[in-house]
Amino acid sequence: MNRICTSLALFAAVLACFLGGCATVSMEEAFEPVKTGTAGRTGQTPEWRDVSATGATVDAAISEALEDGLTADEAVAIALTNNRRLQAVYAEVGIAEAQYVQAGLLKNPTLSGVLYYAPHDRKIWDFEVVTDFIHILMTPMRKQLAEAEREQVRLTVQSEVVGVVADVRRAYYQIQADQQMRELWETVLEATEAAFEMALHLREAGNIPQIAVMGERALFEDAKLRLAAAEAAVVADREHLNDLMGLWGDPASWTITERLPDIPEEAFDTAHIERRVLEQSFDLDAAYRSVETAARRYGIEQVTAVLPEVEVGMAFERERETETHLKKKEYLTETEYELEEERGPEVWWVGPALSLPIPIFDQGQARRALARAEIRQQWDRYTALAVELRTAARLAAYRLRTAREVALSHRDVIVPLRHRITQQTHLRYNGMFVGVFDLLRAKQAEIAAGQRYIESIHAYWMARTDVDQLLMGRALSPGQISPAGMAAGGPVAGGGGPGDGH
């Protein structure tokens, strides 16, 4: 008996090691594929501070980057290492890794036992050791499922990282555009101020009526408010970027000194954009994994729907055998009979134990149907995402081409034309055909043209970021590509990415 027990125990241990392994969860290793995957797409490497023990070096890098003006790449790098919401998303990788390891672990056998204290000083041991046989049987399939799920999580996280990269770039461009707009509003303010003061001088000399002065002042005060609004826009944009970069306090006082980049010499190649986007899409890959996991679940479900659990094990009982016989006891007058127990040796009873559900009412047909339906659902979602990506790709490419032409038209035609109009107005002013107010207003029209130009450059870079985001692997729904090319791109690390079925 003991030999049986010992060998069973040994067998169980070997099995455990063999199947489960001395599995450990290495977060750092789990994160590596995400690092390399996103680095390949975005040129930037995310750092999971909680596991990579690089916290101090990350902070040092941030301080250094903030010393001279913040560049777009620096902003992205800071966000990938310092945005806490994103760090929380990185943890998903660790969680998925743990789940993967968990899937490979065998369920522990259960020991249940009772010790009866019976009368007559008897002790009855009653215990059993069982293990879920189905669980063991399903382990390889479960591991495959977990691997697919882990891969899906990695893809989703990479997509989130791409989303943050794109959002940071958008926020950076927004700041640049609004700073440049603010500069021009300052010039507008100078022009309206000059006109107002000129009107004051004219009024002092008695040459114009009060109402003319009020008119110029109204324009001047309007310009002040426009400048204030422009300043407010810059402040809001900065805070948004600070939020994305996870900065506050002193480090949040960075400056951006560069202007919006010029429209590139060469037009961006949008040939075969749909295919390129589909090939690169993390979201689409993840959606495909959803289909895969649903299929694997179905595979598991085909067994576990009918037999969710089959417990197999050994039952043990240890009891002292007793013999009870009547003992005659003779007394003087009477005879008493007493039950007397004779204690025998303690004996082990051992036998297999089995428990399983009997599929009378529920043969698991519903659960299997559910699993099949889920496969179909994931497949449709996958297809829908593909269509959405195609549409988004076409639209983003179109908007990019258009934005480029518009910006070049501003640069090459409209702004120089407005400049020449100012020059011609100056000639007419010299000839005294028009007065100084007309001249200042022509200048303001030129500045307004400059503002439209900046807006068009900004729109170009927003459109470009949309295309880049799609090609880096994160989806944009067509509705997110606004006419101005300023895409929302989805919130950071909060979902909004499609196909997030787990």
Provide the binding-site residues for other proteins, judged by CB under 8 A: 187, 190-191, 193-194, 197-198, 201-202, 204-208, 422, 424, 426-440, 443
Q: Which two tokens stand for residue 436?
A: 């100084």
How many alpha carbons lie under 13 Å from residue 204 in its C-beta half-sphere? 6
- Alpha-carbon span 271 to 108, nearest angstrom: 56
Q: How far is the CB of 235 from other proteins (least distance, A)?
A: 27
Nearest-approach distance from CB 213 to other proteins, in angstroms: 11
**Element holding 376 (H helix, E strand):** helix 365-409
Smallest gap from Cβ 416 to other proteins, in A, equals: 17
Q: Which residues neighbour 472 within 8 Å (Cβ) at sequence distance 6 or greater? A: 41, 42, 162, 165, 166, 280
State the CB neighbour count (10 A cutoff) for residue 115. 10
Could you tell me the smallest distance in angstroms from the CB atom of residue 412 to other proteins? 23
For the CB of residue 185, give the shortest distance to other proteins in the complex, in Å: 14
Of the pair 412, 438, the CB lying nearest other proteins is at 438
State the nearest-atom distance from the C-beta of 426 to other proteins, in Å: 6
Residue with tokens 């005659």: 328
- Residues 276 and 159: their CA atoms lie apart, in Å, by 16
CA distance 24 to 405: 56
Q: Which is nearer to other proteins, 193 or 317 (CB)?
A: 193
- Number of residues that make up the chain: 502
State in angstroms the smallest separation of the CB of 161 from other proteins: 47
DSSP secondary structure string for all residues of 395-427: HHHHHHHHHHHHHHHIIIIIHHHHHHHHHHHHH
Cβ nearer to other proteins, comparing 390 with 428 = 428
Q: Which residue number, 425 or 456, has a Cβ lying nearer to other proteins?
A: 425
Considering only CA atoms, give the Rg of the chain: 38
Which of 309, 275, 284, 251 minimizes the C-alpha distance to 66? 251
Q: Which is nearer to other proteins, 148 or 191 (CB)?
A: 191
For other proteins, the closer CB: 360 or 432: 432
- What is the token pair recorded at 408? 């070049």
State how far the Cα of 455 lies from the Cα of 442, in Å rounded to an integer: 20
Minimum CB distance to other proteins smaller for 345 or for 431: 431
Q: Name which of 274, 317, 271 is nearest 470 in CA terms.
A: 274
Residue 326's DSSP bridge partners are 339
Q: Pull the structure tokens for residue 270.
A: 């949008």
- Min separation Cβ 223 and other proteins, Å: 13
Nearer to other proteins by Cβ, of 206 and 483: the residue is 206
Q: How far is the CB of 200 from other proteins (least distance, A)?
A: 9
Closest CB to other proteins among 144 and 187? 187
